[in-house]
Amino acid sequence: MNKFLQLVTLLCFVMFITVALAGETTNRIIVNADLGKEQISKHIYGHFAEHLGNCIYGGFWVGEDSPIPNTRGIRNDVLEAMREIKPPVIRWPGGCFADTYHWKDGIGPRANRPSIINTNWGGVTEDNSFGTHEFLDLCELLECEPYICVNVGSGTVQEAAEWVEYINSDAVSPMTELRKKNGREKPWNVKYWAVGNESWGCGGNMTPEYYADQFKRYATYMNAGRLYKVASGGTDPDFAWTRTVMQKTQAYPNLIQGYSFHYYSFCRGWNDKSSAIQFNENDWFNTMKVTWVVDERLRQHSSIMDEFDPNNRIGLIADEWGNWFWVEPGTNPGFLYQQNTVRDAVTAALYLNIFNNQCRRVKMANIAQTINVLQAMLLTKDNQIVKTPTFYVFKMFKVHQDATMLPLDIQCEDYKFEKEQVPAVSASASRDAQGKVHISLANMNPNKNIELSIDVRGAAKFAKSAGEIITGPAMNSYNDFGKPEQVNIQAFKDFKIKDNSLVINLPSKSVVTLELSN
């Protein structure tokens, strides 16, 4: 009888434990190494450099007579830093600025170039010393591809067509003769061209029907070379704009190769942003929440594109993305200068994981922006330079450029705050040309380490493993001028691997990349 009671007691205890644990989620990722077929385009790791604040002037460009060391007017410290992250493509000159920019004002002897008032950003006067030749020189120095946005809002079809001819043609023509007169004998052969920017707003306040017709006009005459022409998308939830543009260009496959998508994480909303560095967990959580939204947005736009482009010929081009917070106190509100913290690093990893996992349709992405503006890679002040937490995410994630995306299944707990919740872990994986597998992870929870198991299936047994981590002492840790870095890449060893199965202790508010090799 006593043994029977003991058995019943034991069974009750097991049932109690089972019920108690029923609400808990096992944090597990399965990486299907034998199912990879899509390539993660290196252009997903692209950048955006607009004539905005000190992105161009004081950021990239200081001029040849500057005491700051430079190469033909371009800062050497910026060149050196950018080479660390292997930028594949840079988008220029905007942004909203593109639809006020007339390219002929930015060529020829600099002393003779007319100035321009930047009506979109700060109302400052620019001297046009950084123009077409300077931008394309920058791209050659960085060994990256240019991505140029033409002026549809206040420009003309002729102006756009002549810009393409000036840059790409090797025929005898007035534009090629003008290029040679200005010092460039051979064409640059620029492939990527955006036909307008945010044409629903600062690019002309157009309807989707009107813009689609304008796109076809411009794209018809932009024909010097084999171009990759990108149509302007609507606002991120405007699926009707996507459907209209795809429908109205369906009969003209030679005109459209890409479709633009913009998304910014505003924390609480356009008029209710948070400080970039003085924020609480509510601001942190809301930033994670609104960033997760981009995953579903991309899937919805891709689904519409699949209806009209079942062969996946047209790329979804996320050519503006990132965090948008209040400017730093005491700075020009129109310059959009903000600091960059651990929060930015975690959201950058979340964005990039989403782009990696949706690389079937997403063929390019350009973070806003490269230097001194919004979620920047670099900050400059006089002759000083700061590498931001986001810079280090791009440096860590460059292993995914042109690698094969490995599909994964993820089951994870939620990060809960008050009455809301989001997935606590984001991940993506790839295999590079040398056969190395890289798994990138981000922990959204700023308070809790997460124990995570990863099974890599369909791969030979790995003999070597290594890890890197980006985190900081606090949610708002950041790097600043004249101070030791608080946030950068460190070695990560808090994981175990056996027979291609890993157990990881993923620290709170962190970004981790693991490398597995034979």
Active site members: 198, 320
Terminus-to-terminus CA distance in the chain, angstroms? 58
* % helix, strand, coil for the chain, step of 5: 30, 25, 40
Q: Which helix (H) or strand (E) holds 491?
A: strand 489-491
Within a 10 A sphere around the Cβ of 19, how many other Cβ atoms? 9
Burial of 15 (C-beta count, 10 Å sphere; 0-12/13-18/19+): exposed
Neighbours of 297 (CB within 10 A): 16
Asked if residue 384 has a cis previous peptide bond (ω within 30° of 0), the answer is no
Is beta strand 450-457 parallel, antiparallel or unpaired with respect to 501-506?
antiparallel
Q: Which residue has the tokens 């056996």?
A: 498
Answer whether 105's CB lies under 8 Å from 128's CB.
Answer: yes
Phi, psi torsion values for 431, nearest 5 degrees: -125, 125
Type of residue numbered 361: R
Neighbour tally for 16: CB within 10 Å: 10
Residue 45: both structure tokens together: 């790791």
241 φ/ψ sector (left φ>0, alpha ψ -120 to 50, else beta)? alpha
Amino acid identity for residue 226 in this structure: R
Distance CA 76, CA 163 (A): 28
Alpha carbons 403 and 38: distance in angstroms, whole number = 9
Residue 297's Cα: distance from chain center in Å? Answer: 15
CA 149 to CA 410: how far, in whole Å?
38
